[in-house]
Amino acid sequence: MPVTWYFDFISPFAWLHWPKVKALAATQPVTLRPILFAGVLDRCGQKGPAEIPAKREFTYRYTLWRARQANQPLKYPPAHPFNPLAALRLCIAEGSSIAATDAIFDWIWGQGQAADSAEALAPVAAKLGIEDIHAAIARPEVKAKLRENFDQAMSEQIFGVPTLSIGGRLFWGEDAHDFAMACLRDPTLWDDAEMQRVAALPVGISRTVA
């Protein structure tokens, strides 16, 4: 089954998920699709974790704890949330490759560096062999690919990042990786009787937002 990973560099959970996705990509093809998380939130009518003060504080503490449990470095950038457009476009300019994705993630979350502008990302671009980052991320085809990635995400009904799409089945979040791998090994898990029953469970009450 085709495997696609939707992510945004703004997400610390995407950074936590990245080593597992990279390991999976070493065993089979995985399409990396950088997308703008803010656009997903707008389409779904949701607030991001960092837009709810108490949830923001919890998220930062929890992701630090998760990283320590996994012996994975995690250092928050100078400000968060930040504008990830330059980082997303830089990744796409380099073909959304493993190397580019790795370098950008490490810069932001491994080293805790700013990534909210072309100037902030210039050292990463230089490492990737890009001399003029402004020209690279301004190319029309780069901007078009980012829009295409978002449209693809919406067509798959993506509602958050990071998300693994495996044959069109969505596995949201770093903590769903084991479930994703189990279903990749045995696709019948997704469609057993109880899985089908809960997927079609009737809605008992709907909340009305004034």
Q: Mention every residue, 6+ apart, whose C-beta is less than 8 A from residue 77.
A: 108, 109, 112, 113, 114, 115
- Structural domain boundaries in the chain: 3-199
Local confidence band at 1 (pLDDT 50, 70, 90 cut-offs)? confident
Region 3-199: CATH code = 3.40.30.10
Phi, psi of 9 (to 5 degrees): -65, -15
pLDDT of residue 209: 60
**pLDDT per position as a tens digit, 97-146:** 999 999 999 999 999 999 999 999 999 999 999 999 999 999 999 999 99
Check whether 163 has a pLDDT greater than 80: yes
Burial (CB < 10 A; 0-12, 13-18, 19+), residue 198, is exposed
**pLDDT per position as a tens digit, 17-45:** 999 999 999 999 999 999 999 999 999 99
Contact 6, 30 (CB under 8 A): no
Query: Encoding tokens for residue 70?
Result: 């996994």
